[in-house]
Chain A
Amino acid sequence: MNIQVVDRPTGAAKGKAKLAIADCDIHPSPKSLEIEIYPYLSKRWQTYLETYGFIYRQGFPNGPAFPKGQPDAARRDAYPPNGGRPGSDLDFMREQHLDPNNVQLGILNPLKSGQGLQNNDFAGAYCRAVNEWQIAEWTSKEPRLKASLMVPFEDAKTSVTEIDHWAGNPHFAQVLLLSRTAEPLGQRRYWPIYEAACRANLPVAVHAFGYGGTPVTGGGWPSFYIEEMVGHAENTQSLLTSMVIEGVFERFPTLKVILVEAGFAWLPALKWRLDKLWHRMRDEIPHVTRPPSELIQEHVWLTPQPMEEPEPREHLLDTIEWIGWDKLLFATDYPHWDFDDPARALPLKLSKERRENFFLGNALDLYGLR
């Protein structure tokens, strides 16, 4: 079971200084929509929300048809003592996570943030509200945190407007997309988003999850939440394949893509397969002028959470070597249940340099914050 809560001391470790980390996947929630989001939504959209609710490409307005492992998919101990949802209280986040884990850089990835809403106008307005909210409630109060620029990605034009609106604003570290899109992310309808992100000098992060309307497998809908969760890796492989084969990285040579919360150990086998197919099928995809593995090496980073756990664990050293030690950005997924604890996530003997880069340096380099 996964509901056991262990009492562990919080607060900074005594004695030796704890390794500073970057946490590239933190999920903040508003205390309530009325208090924290409504101030940034027009009366029209407040009324719309109250009348029609959130309409996605799925039947339930309040969450997926796969019941999660526990409420809000959250750690049982992450509910703030003063009430509210996990991830909704900055002071408690500092106390439970940022301070004791010595988080030097935290990237906020709000979910339920307007992305994937069927009504494009509402999606655009809601994304704008969430962007305002991140600055007002989080990043302007806590300099260790950086916001993600939410865009209504199914509507590229509005997405570009949103990116242009915030371009140059130091509160934002990246543009955020979700992985379950209406069409594969390499397709041209999404290219203006990549163009605008490059123009704003922001990486594009793609976080696992969302509602694209197609089954989570190419062979239909599975029965269980575990299949959906595991399937985020396959989903992410599909979108990465699309970006490579459609030629996104050739078209946007400065584009940086971060794949968030989809694991990472699958990447070597995907690279080998795509390279082989590229050699065989170059007549079909002449616009891809270099082996896919090279394009991925140059343009793609991953957060490793949830960290794979082979037996023996040392197999991960091969895997990371095949990916590149500079390509992984540590993330905890706080406050979610499958949190990777920095003290336990990588129980392997590593050089000091590798450990520091894995937990912090790679992220500082990628986000230009070194």
Chain B
Amino acid sequence: MTTTPPPTAGAIDCDIHPSVPSIEALLPYMADHWRDTIVQRGVHDLETIAYPKNAPLTARPDWRPAKGLPAADVATVQAQALDPFATSIAICNCLYGVQLLMSEDIAAAFANAVNQWMAAEFLDRDPRLRASIVIPTQNTEMAVAEIERWADDKRFVSVLMLVMDENPLGRRLYWPIYAAAARHGLPICVHAGSAYKHPVTSVGWPSYYTEDYAAQSPAFHNMVSSFICEGVFAKYPDLTVVLAESGFTWLPAHLWRLTKFWRGLRAEIPWVDRTPTEIARDHFRLTLQPVDAPPTAADFERLMEHMGSDEMLLFSTDYPHHQFDGNAVLPEGLSPALARKIMVDNPKNTYPRLQ
């Protein structure tokens, strides 16, 4: 019996999330001192409030195991994320609370352990898998050192940061990270999530998890402003920033606003020498899921016109997060030609290491 390949066959999935099954899984990848620290001081896992284990969004019901965390081993990822969508490549963005730690030393140890674990447990076991390098953003030098450690391993295709760190991501203290990324042909993947060094909203801590997740979107707006206004792309013209799990339907309106204020206030940021809209189209890419789509396909088509570019979206399932059901990963209103660009051409053009 032959089966029809799914419409996503051959797609490059730019955002999936293997879980660190437990802190014990990382111990083999840590130096004695840190292993002792974790055991003797009783460090729990680094799961965060960004994805409460049993929250409906954290894992789709059919992707939720009877025991333990979703997507915690390569066989599960193959069976749930790769095979059903027939994806050719999937990029693993490991969301583990490394960025939340207060000690930069512990953060560096965890970042390195997560990367080693990712290489050994996933990348070595399926040639379709790629990953983002987890870095300790708490200390820029240590972050750069971690990038350098993995730069020769071409299966690491980007560098992972959270959208809410201790400082806005365009700030100059991060620039050595961007220099290293640009030097090695690695886009920066800015993923939803917070280091929780500040309240997730500009008006303080919300009451509900739903608001925490909603707050990711304004944070992405803020960081687009930050990267552009600080002049990151004037300094690193080859740098690409991938916004992952960001939603994208907000982007046109945000760029209208930012561009309007740039017209009035550009004297403050003279290195921004063309409109933020143009800069964004050249340097930002956004993953597909969650779509946050308007109610009808016709509205979606109008929105895609507002985007003003067919090169910005990158296919993603956001596996195992529950953003869609079945294999309805492509929103209605997407033309076949655009779907093909989003699934294959745009990812290849975004990640130099996938060419």
For window 170-185 of B, CB contacts with A under 8 Å fall at 170-171
Interface check A10, CB cutoff 8 A: no
A270 x B217 contact (CB < 8 A): yes
Q: Name the contact of A218 in the complex, choosing from B57, B201, B277 (C-beta under 8 A).
A: B201
A309 x B259 contact (CB < 8 A): yes
For window 156-192 of B, CB contacts with A under 8 Å fall at 163-171
Interface check A234, CB cutoff 8 A: yes
Cβ–Cβ < 8 Å partners of B170 in chain A:
222-223
Interface check A143, CB cutoff 8 A: no
Q: How far is the CA of A218 from the CA of B202 in the complex (A)?
A: 6
Cβ–Cβ < 8 Å partners of A263 in chain B:
253, 257
Interface mask (A210-227 → B, CB under 8 Å = 1, otherwise 0): 001011111111111111
- Stretch from A30-38, A108-116, A236-244, A346-354 contacting the other chain: A236-244
B218 x A185 contact (CB < 8 A): no
Q: How far is the CB of A228 from chain B (nearest CB, A)?
A: 10
Cβ–Cβ < 8 Å partners of A311 in chain B:
277
Q: How far is the CB of A355 from chain B (nearest CB, A)?
A: 21
A217 x B222 contact (CB < 8 A): yes
Q: How far is the CB of B235 from chain A (nearest CB, A)?
A: 14
A214 x B257 contact (CB < 8 A): no
B202 x A183 contact (CB < 8 A): no
Q: How far is the CB of B288 from chain A (nearest CB, A)?
A: 14
Cβ–Cβ < 8 Å partners of A266 in chain B:
221, 250, 253-254, 257
B247 x A265 contact (CB < 8 A): no
Residue on A with the closest CB to B300? Answer: A272
**A223-B230, A224-B269, A284-B209 known; A231-B202 Cβ under 8 A:** yes
Q: How far is the CB of B190 from chain A (nearest CB, A)?
A: 10
Cβ–Cβ < 8 Å partners of A285 in chain B:
208, 210
Cβ–Cβ < 8 Å partners of A50 in chain B:
none
A226 x B265 contact (CB < 8 A): yes
Q: How far is the CA of A308 from the CA of B252 in the complex (A)?
A: 10
Q: How far is the CA of A266 from the CA of B224 in the complex (A)?
A: 15
Residue on B with the closest CB to A187? Answer: B207
A226 x B261 contact (CB < 8 A): yes
Cβ–Cβ < 8 Å partners of A269 in chain B:
217, 247, 249-250, 253, 292
**Interface residue tally for chain B (C-beta within 8 Å):** 72
Interface check A77, CB cutoff 8 A: no
Q: How far is the CA of A162 from the CA of B327 in the complex (A)?
A: 56
**A182-B204, A272-B249, A310-B252 known; A225-B265 Cβ under 8 A:** yes
B260 x A306 contact (CB < 8 A): yes
Interface check A61, CB cutoff 8 A: no
- Stretch from A16-24, A121-129, A275-283, A327-335 contacting the other chain: A275-283
Cβ–Cβ < 8 Å partners of B303 in chain A:
318
Q: How far is the CB of A50 from chain B (nearest CB, A)?
A: 31
Q: How far is the CB of A178 from chain B (nearest CB, A)?
A: 10
Interface check B320, CB cutoff 8 A: no
Q: Which residue of B208, B230, B306 has the most chain A CB atoms within 10 A of its CB atom?
A: B208
**A230-B225, A268-B294, A318-B306 known; A218-B205 Cβ under 8 A:** no
Q: How far is the CB of B354 from chain A (nearest CB, A)?
A: 28
A227 x B202 contact (CB < 8 A): no
B305 x A238 contact (CB < 8 A): no
**A69-B264, A238-B215, A265-B253 known; A222-B222 Cβ under 8 A:** yes
Q: Can you give 14 contacting A-B residue pairs, CB < 8 Å?
A: A214-B204, A217-B164, A218-B222, A222-B168, A226-B258, A227-B168, A233-B221, A234-B221, A234-B222, A238-B215, A241-B211, A246-B208, A274-B214, A322-B299
A residues whose Cβ falls under 8 Å from a Cβ of B: 1-2, 69, 179-187, 212, 214-227, 229-231, 233-235, 237-239, 241-242, 245-246, 263, 265-266, 268-270, 272-274, 276-278, 280-281, 283-285, 306-311, 315, 318-319, 322, 337-338
B residues whose Cβ falls under 8 Å from a Cβ of A: 55-57, 163-171, 194-195, 197-211, 213-215, 217-219, 221-223, 225-226, 229-230, 247, 249-250, 252-254, 256-262, 264-265, 267-269, 277, 290, 292-295, 299, 302-303, 305-306, 322
8 smallest CB-CB distances across A and B, nearest first, come from A234-B218, A265-B253, A217-B222, A238-B201, A219-B164, A308-B256, A269-B250, A273-B292
